[in-house]
Amino acid sequence: MKRAFLILSLAGVLLSHMPGTAFAKKIQVVSTIGMISDIAGEVGGDRVEVRGLMGPGVDPHLYKATESDVNKLAKADIILYNGLNLEAKMERVFQQMRRSKKTVAVCENIAGSKLLDSINYPGHFDPHVWFDVTLWTAAVDEVTRTLIEFDPDGGEYYRQRADIYRERLAELHHYVTGRAGEVPPEQRVLITAHDAFRYFGRQYGFEVKGLQGMSTEAEAGTRDVIELANFIVARRIKAIFVESSVPERNIRAVQDAVRAQGWDVVVGGELFSDAMGNAGTVEGTYIGMVTHNIDTIVDALK
């Protein structure tokens, strides 16, 4: 009996160290936003199991860790989050986790010269890096480095997968650039519920205005609505956009204020800003979400 147990345990130990077998213990990765979970899955492949804390429609600026999140984080091998103050209400949990496990903010090693300053929080950077597809590859590098550090045996596997993913992102960047070019420069004005698209604007040549500023924490006031409405009327802007992770009412208020001045602006569709779409749909992946956004923006503005 004892012997059988010993053999079984030994088999378990052996199997858990063999990559690619069904019995192997996968590296447990817990990440915050879907865009980072996506990278971890693409690069980590069969060697990792990824759990995302923030699903579709969830706003990371306001998100507080639940008890079940803290349990997941405590059981993780690796914790990945965006950083740059995106997950503002979870910062303390990450500090705590950092003492006992690999906890990595995937955007915090990007050179400050490549980042945009925060409008709302002096001394901070704008956290919405994923909307510049080329800059987001820095997060891919960081996730890859982290996985290799934790699991050196998988080094070659991770590097290969990361290369394939980077190639797909290069194609995506090319696609977004091409579609953006379909809108005449003077019509390239993107108006959304909050200021998530400044990296997008810088990279793809759009003037960007968000009603609520860079974090959704600050509520838009009546004056913000009126100022934005005046801007839309003066520039004769055709479409404005709602976001999946921000309530629609503010953008609808802007639309009403514009119409009251006799100019008709349409809501050009829903963009995925700080959260991806539902799992199992095209928009439930980073590449799908970016493609959806650029198609929605260009089709409404051109």
By the rule CB under 5 A, 274 interacts with Zn ion: yes
Binding segment for Zn ion (CB under 5 A), chosen from 15-23, 87-95, 143-151, 192-200, is 192-200
Name the residue type at position 26. Answer: K
Binding segment for Zn ion (CB under 5 A), chosen from 18-26, 164-172, 253-261, 274-282, is 274-282
Comparing CB distances to Zn ion, the nearer of 196 and 225 is 196
Structure tokens at 98: 């950092």
The residue within the footprint of Zn ion, chosen from 76, 107, 162, 196 (CB under 5 A), is 196
Q: With CB under 5 A, what is the number of residues at the site for Zn ion? A: 2
Residue 51 CB burial class (10 angstroms; 0-12, 13-18, ≥19): middle
Name the residue type at position 142. Answer: E
Torsion of CA 126, 132, 134, 139, to 10 degrees: 50
**Interstrand relation of 239-243 and 207-210 (parallel, antiparallel or unpaired):** unpaired
Asked if 204 contacts 176 with a C-beta cutoff of 8 angstroms, the reply is yes
Comparing CB distances to Zn ion, the nearer of 161 and 194 is 194
Q: How far is the CB of 90 from Zn ion (least distance, A)?
A: 14
Q: How far is the CB of 198 from Zn ion (least distance, A)?
A: 10
Binding segment for Zn ion (CB under 5 A), chosen from 152-160, 163-171, 266-274, 293-301, is 266-274
Binding segment for Zn ion (CB under 5 A), chosen from 90-98, 149-157, 193-201, 264-272, is 193-201
Comparing CB distances to Zn ion, the nearer of 125 and 157 is 125
Q: How far is the CB of 130 from Zn ion (least distance, A)?
A: 10
By the rule CB under 5 A, 87 interacts with Zn ion: no
Binding segment for Zn ion (CB under 5 A), chosen from 13-21, 136-144, 194-202, 257-265, is 194-202
Q: How far is the CB of 140 from Zn ion (least distance, A)?
A: 20
Q: How far is the CB of 86 from Zn ion (least distance, A)?
A: 7
Q: How far is the CB of 218 from Zn ion (least distance, A)?
A: 11
| Residue numbers at the binding site for Zn ion (CB under 5 A) | 196, 274
